[in-house]
Amino acid sequence: MATLSVSISHSRGYWGAAGSVLLAFSSALIAAQPATPQALTGTAAGVITDASGTPIPGAKVVALDFRSGIVNRVLTDERGNYTLDGLRPGAHKIRISAPSYVSRIFGTVQIEANSRLRVDAKLQKAQPGEDGDTILGGRVHPHQDLKNVPHSAVIESVSIATPPLMPFPSNGDLWFTTWADDDNLYGTWGDGRGATPEFRNDLRTDCGVLKYSGAPPNLTPQVLLRDAPTQTNPPADNKPSSLLFLGKRLYGAFHAPLGDAWIGYLAYSDDYGKRWTREGFYFPDEAKPANASPWTRDQGSPFRCMMMINMGRAYSLNRDGFVYALAIGTETNWKGDVYLARVRKQDLLKYAAWQYYTGLANGQPAWSQAQKDAVPVPNLFATDQGSAIYHPGVKRYLFLTLSHLFEAPAPWGPWTLAGDFPYDKPEWQRGYQPGIISKGLGSNSFWFTISSQNRTPYLTYSFHIGQMVMHPASQAKNTR
């Protein structure tokens, strides 16, 4: 039997460790025994253990075929072994989970016909408060982690005025939006089929782009593009961080791959989301292009997930000529610190023009051209991606995470805690990576999107929209 041994990185997919997950895997691509011409499938196999190397029986291994949407599942045996046969050639995503352990995803795994791919994984025990069987639902830190964050003097509390609304069938998460000059919303989704009628389409995608007509919550979606910002070969496992419409151009901040991203980068579309051009993206084994993104894992960058702050329709509420973005380093399971960057509007795609917040000097924000000089923004905290806008009704910048709403009079602060994400109603629990919608704002309210992981009675893995109300502080308390 002929044997060919290569690194799994031949596909240039990524498997960076996310948060506290300890991952070890070995791979070898071994040519199978001569097969009949009818054998047009491949196999993935391996062993799943805990961090000490003890086999985990009954672990679930799921392989998703990117192109067809077909899912294959198997459980590990008493020795932690599994075999997934009959996989179609091409890119797959492999997800490994077990009760009481933190799940792990291999973002892009290339299956070849008549070949066997070995993928071993070590999973770490879930910590208290972690949902071990959730792909993206990062740990919700206890509220006492924010005990030293001052409460807002402008917003007394927040509540959700609606049940989770689902105006159309959908499948996916990461439903971030921006408000364009044509009065439509443009948005993203990740890891799913998208919105109707694509809900009935078997083709899943890592990252898609939509247009929404109408006003929240009555939105009508139209899918514009799958595998945005571009279809890459090999696949890059793109994920959206935020969108911003400025001038006549739609901008996006993206990262790749899922979880502990190798790179965060920018892209743009000049035809309202149908075609995209990436700026500064490159794979780890490639030479850096001109204008290369500096937001990479090997730089320890906390700017890989850029949450650009939307300011009204087509960014019309901005007054100082800068685009601002709050940032974290990983999509999920981030350590908590939130950073701030800015760039002049006309230089948004020039990485060297970005400035990074380094603190206050004589009461004014200080900036550096070097991201290594950046410091966390005081009083902000996030474990997962969130979203940010300027709200003209309350005259405050808002930052919404899966567990809290923060407010500030300026992007650099001072940030205070406006309220906890309401957990009193079970139908709103277990959501993650909410997206504030900049269109349809009330004087003291806003609409937001959110998704979850199909855990009854919690939110499902689809588009949900709700309205958050900010209750003003009393006149005596509001001294600002």
431 versus 292: which is more confidently predicted? 292
221: β partners:
212
Is 271 in a helix, a strand, or coil? Answer: coil
> Is the Cα dihedral 286, 290, 294, 299 positive or negative?
positive
pLDDT at 163 over 70: yes
pLDDT at 433 over 80: yes
Residue type, 69: G
Q: Are 358 and 412 in contact (CB under 8 A)?
A: no
State the average pLDDT over residues 239-262.
92
Specify the pLDDT at position 206: 83
State the average pLDDT over residues 40-66.
90
pLDDT at 226 over 70: yes
Structural domain boundaries in the chain: 8-123, 143-472
Confidence of residue 62 (pLDDT cuts 50, 70, 90): confident
Average pLDDT, the chain: 82
Specify the pLDDT at position 137: 29
Q: Which CATH number fits domain 8-123: 2.40.110.10, 3.40.1360.10, 2.60.40.10, 3.40.50.300?
A: 2.60.40.10
194: β partners:
171
DSSP state of 353: G
Q: Which of 222-226, 245-249, 307-311 has the lowest mean pLDDT?
A: 222-226
pLDDT at 228 over 70: no
298 versus 178: which is more confidently predicted? 178
Over residues 354-364, the pLDDT tens digits come to 999 999 988 89
Confidence of residue 66 (pLDDT cuts 50, 70, 90): low
pLDDT at 339 over 90: yes
State the average pLDDT over residues 128-156.
56
Q: Are 263 and 253 in contact (CB under 8 A)?
A: no
136 versus 236: which is more confidently predicted? 236
pTM attached to this predicted model: 0.73
Q: Which of 290-299, 320-329, 382-391, 425-434 has the lowest mean pLDDT?
A: 425-434
Confidence of residue 422 (pLDDT cuts 50, 70, 90): low
From 68, 96, 100, select the one nearest 193 (Cα to Cα).
68
Confidence of residue 124 (pLDDT cuts 50, 70, 90): confident
Specify the pLDDT at position 199: 59
Specify the pLDDT at position 40: 87
Burial of 298 by CB count in 10 Å (0-12 exposed, 13-18 middle, 19+ buried)?
Answer: exposed
Confidence of residue 201 (pLDDT cuts 50, 70, 90): low
Specify the pLDDT at position 429: 77
Specify the pLDDT at position 41: 92
Over residues 369-391, the pLDDT tens digits come to 999 999 999 999 998 999 999 99
- Report the alpha-carbon distance of residue 382 to residue 344 in Å, rounded: 26
Percent pLDDT > 70 in the chain is 80
Specify the pLDDT at position 92: 81
Specify the pLDDT at position 134: 35
- Report the alpha-carbon distance of residue 107 to residue 117 in Å, rounded: 15
Specify the pLDDT at position 236: 66
The single residue listed with the structure tokens 């998208």 is: 194
To the nearest 10°, the Cα dihedral for 437, 420, 17, 54?
-140
- Report the alpha-carbon distance of residue 200 to residue 41 in Å, rounded: 25
State the average pLDDT over residues 77-96.
90
DSSP state of 335: -
Specify the pLDDT at position 232: 53
Q: Which of 68-77, 227-236, 276-285 has the highest mean pLDDT?
A: 276-285
Specify the pLDDT at position 476: 36
Question: Which CATH number is 143-472 given?
Answer: 2.115.10
pLDDT at 43 over 50: yes
State the average pLDDT over residues 225-254.
83
